[in-house]
A and B are shown apart, each in its own frame.
Chain A
Amino acid sequence: MESSIYALDAKIPDGPIQDQWDQHKFATPLVNPANKRKYDIIVIGTGLAGASAAASFGELGYNVKVFTYSDSPRRAHSIAAQGGINAAKNYPNDGDSIFRLFYDTVKGGDYRSRESNVYRLAQVANEIIDQTTAQGIPYAREYGGLLDNRSFGGAQVSRTFYARGQTGQQLLLGAYQALARQIDAGTVDYYNRSEMLEVVIKDDHAVGVIIRNLVSGEITSHSAHVVVLATGGYSNVFFLSTNAMACNGSAIWRAYRKGAFFANPAFTQIHPTCIPAADEHQSKLTLMSESLRNDGRIWVPITPGDNRPANDIPDEERDYYLERMYPAFGNLVPRDVASRAAMRMLDEDRGVGPLRNGVYLDFKSAIGRLGQAKIEERYGNLFEMYERITDENPYEVPMRIYPAPHYTMGGLWVDYNLMTTIPGLYAIGEANFSDHGANRLGASALMQGLADGYFVLPYTIGGYLVDYLNVPPVSTDDPVFVEARAAVEEQTNAFLAINGTQSVDHFHRQLGNVMIEHCGLARSREGLETAIDEIREIRTNFWKDLRVIGTSDSLNQSLERAGRVADFLELAELMCIDAMDREESCGGHFRLEHQTEDGEAKRDDVNYAYSAAWESMGSKNAPLLHKEFLEFEYVALSQRSYK
């Protein structure tokens, strides 16, 4: 693969890492409060990242427009996060600190993230807990009225704050409420059921967006001084994932096609604790929060092919394989490690359940130790959810779980200011390539989304805006807007004109099968080459044989999905190219060619300690690779070991 000789400039501030953020805030020019209303900011997305950013901009006095394809901000995919949010408050007095949270996150990410960004994340995390508590998030409390914590994978301290099993819901409601307050105050204009279909660029700068109203089909142009993408992750490229049905990669993909670099697209997270598929009509997979691994023990039968019911298998015939393989962390190893171990159990024909596609997560000893009431208090809603889906009672029979696509560490490349390679275009939350390197630790996505939206972007954006004082935004009559709108209209009509025989889901399922097989838990050069051929074939068939019924001037859910799947069909190829380029195993990226004798990931820090940022060279050409070389000054590079 051709790669560029120019190193990317991440604009990391000078000085010791502990001081960088403070120094940078001080050095960034401030926008005079009276001038803030002269700036227009567009935010796409009302998940944790988008809602928190839009609300904070509104409070500061900027003119904000915020768009979401949902009917209400409260529906964003963030609502589904269950387990919790990390911070280094050290309330339990168990040795936590900002440095330890930073250290754990860099190590958990398998040394493929940018130290400075991660340090800042760990620094502002405590403020998030203060902010959200003040907003009225009903976090779990001790009897004395103080905040309770629990532990999550990849950490040996208790630093996760939670609101039952509904932490994402509560945090999103908090951000939505802050946003509602600004909508009421008139600082934010809010557009629901509105999908962004293009970023508009003039003279290499982002100047606005093209939006389709999902009810009327009307396509409109909106201009601003800056555009912020807070559009979430792309796990739905696998068709079956834990993401909400509408989650998609279109906003960031269209920005990529307009020149924003896409970093580490192959870094995807497959979450170890999801409910296995029940049949071939399955439309999505449900996550069982990782917090369950605090009290549940994971096992499979020792004997391959053993199909006795779980409770008939005596303890000595069970293999608590995580406790056996990783005695130091046991059931709390990071996600990538736990997922791969489960895959190996299935490969050894030790899977359980009717389709033999799961492993057990057993609460028997925890119930014995703590009593059912305590378990119910901790996980009641998760147990209920499980029972509803599987018709099995997890207080009596162990849960069945299996890994499923869950989170994408990859995303648009951003510098320290969270700006993409297109000036004026920012990416926050799961949409950027984030602070999680090659693997995200549990309870760190909520932290990052809210850090970006509440505490980072509202500061860094001023550094770009100061140059635009009294410069009006580009008119929406400008040819760049007219052309972008015409292109969107053309594509919308193109889907309707194919008039083939197959539905959008048909192609999406096909793509998902290819991706999970070749670009999922385990990857190989050969498999990835096959995948690329197959993706191209599905793409060709999609454009020949798709059938979308209805019109473009009304609510048309198939049409909405067609656009998203068309983009997934391109993004999938870039994921495979990136996975092929990275001749090492790290975090969620496991190359079969690169493993130790006992099957652990083998990282190659000499050749691959970089973030891969891909530049689009047009749809006919191979993308160009730019490398951001990563330096590890504070966390010494070492082979991760959870043994």
Chain B
Amino acid sequence: MDLSLKIWRQARANEEGEFKTYQAKNVSPEASFLEMLDEVNEELNATGEDPIAFEHDCREGICGACGVMINGSPHGPQSGTATCQLHMRKFEDGDSITIEPWRATAFPVLKDLIVDRAPFDRIMEAGGYISVNTGAAPDANIIAVPKWSAESAMDAASCIGCAACVAACPNSAANLFTAAKTQHLNLLPQGKPERYLRAAAMVETMEQYFGSCTNYGECEKACPKNISIDFIAMMNKDYVRAQFFNMARQGQK
């Protein structure tokens, strides 16, 4: 199939960018979306134009490195699918496709389709862990974890950190990411001791970088791992409780 691609080109972070149009000819329907871009890049290289920079690594939907806006939707038209898992059979011959980077103030464009998602790491550093030093752990079967709780924690922990949720949100909020990360740990008995400290620290760090959630729900639709916005409700509850908990803790000092 033949396609017309409108792609965001921007040489560096502090330079202006613009859309440029490219023709992709003879694209195989078996090709993945990124393989289609590989072919375009081979052409560009041959004609002497700088290839399009885009981020990717695993190409199987697990590392979260890839992710672009395809015709205005994060990761494109197929639900529950990361950009790298999207195949060209989902498009039609003659289609025009607009490809641009995630748009959010917290994520400056570094080049073409690549953005800087470092604020996600800052949220994690604020409390996205269980404080257990290497070697200090008891036998793994000492604490029984109800199956539902392990499964639910796993649902949250499936987040790949791609940031499609932020890109989809009209407010550029990162609540779905932060909720997935807090609740993965808060749902497990092992995560309980730091539950409220974690919720408070991660939410407050999130607020330094991202907009506020007003319950549009676009994030859930865009998530390639179908992470549920129910986790946001759980996080909010933990966050509210954290305020009381922290007051109580202060009283003990």
Between A and B, how many residue pairs show CB distances below 8 Å? 210
From A77, A89, A181, contact of B57 by CB (8 A)? A77
Contact indicator A455/B128 (Cβ below 8 Å): no
Contact indicator B35/A555 (Cβ below 8 Å): no
Residue of A nearest to B131 (CB): A181
Segment at the A interface, from B1-9, B47-55, B227-235, B238-246: B47-55
Contacts of A184 in B (CB 8 A): 125-126
Is the CB of B30 closer than 8 A to any CB of chain A? yes
Is the CB of B93 closer than 8 A to any CB of chain A? no
Contact indicator A244/B59 (Cβ below 8 Å): yes
Given contacts A59-B134, A557-B53, contact A138 B184 (CB under 8 A): yes
Residue of B nearest to A173 (CB): B157
Is the CB of A501 closer than 8 A to any CB of chain B? yes
Residue of A nearest to B190 (CB): A136
Q: Is the interface of B mostly helix, strand, loop or mixed?
A: loop
Contacts of A455 in B (CB 8 A): 134-135
Is the CB of A70 closer than 8 A to any CB of chain B? yes
Chain A 159-182 near chain B by CB (<8 Å), digits 1 or 0: 000011010011001001110110
Determine the distance from Cα of A550 to Cα of B53 in the docked complex, in whole angstroms.
Answer: 11
Is the CB of A141 closer than 8 A to any CB of chain B? yes
Is the CB of B83 closer than 8 A to any CB of chain A? no
CB distance from B174 to the nearest CB of A (A): 14
Is the CB of A147 closer than 8 A to any CB of chain B? yes
CB distance from B216 to the nearest CB of A (A): 26
From B57, B141, B147, contact of A70 by CB (8 A)? B57
Is the CB of B16 closer than 8 A to any CB of chain A? no
Is the CB of A524 closer than 8 A to any CB of chain B? no
From B49, B53, B121, B136, contact of A555 by CB (8 A)? B53
Contact indicator B188/A503 (Cβ below 8 Å): no
Given contacts A77-B58, A80-B63, A245-B56, contact A71 B147 (CB under 8 A): no
Determine the distance from Cα of A138 to Cα of B59 in the docked complex, in whole angstroms.
Answer: 24
Given contacts A130-B139, A178-B129, contact A549 B28 (CB under 8 A): no
Is the CB of A55 closer than 8 A to any CB of chain B? yes
Contacts of B30 in A (CB 8 A): 278-279
Given contacts A91-B141, A558-B45, contact A279 B28 (CB under 8 A): yes
CB distance from B173 to the nearest CB of A (A): 20
CB distance from B131 to the nearest CB of A (A): 6
Contact indicator A283/B188 (Cβ below 8 Å): no
Determine the distance from Cα of A91 to Cα of B141 in the docked complex, in whole angstroms.
Answer: 9
Give residues in B with beta carbon < 8 Å to A: 11-13, 28, 30-32, 34-35, 38-39, 41-42, 44-46, 48-51, 53, 55-65, 81, 85, 87, 89, 110-111, 114, 116-118, 120-121, 124-126, 128-141, 143-147, 150-151, 153-154, 157-158, 160-161, 184-185, 188, 190-191
Give residues in A with beta carbon < 8 Å to B: 52, 55-56, 59, 70-77, 79-80, 89, 91, 127, 129-131, 133-136, 138-147, 163-164, 166, 169-170, 173, 176-178, 180-181, 183-184, 192, 215, 244-246, 278-279, 281-284, 286, 385, 388-389, 391, 454-455, 458, 501, 503, 505-506, 547, 549-550, 554-555, 557-558
19 A-B interface contacts by CB (under 8 A): A71-B55, A71-B116, A75-B57, A75-B64, A89-B141, A127-B137, A131-B134, A133-B140, A141-B145, A146-B141, A169-B62, A169-B158, A180-B124, A245-B57, A281-B38, A385-B60, A454-B135, A506-B42, A549-B44
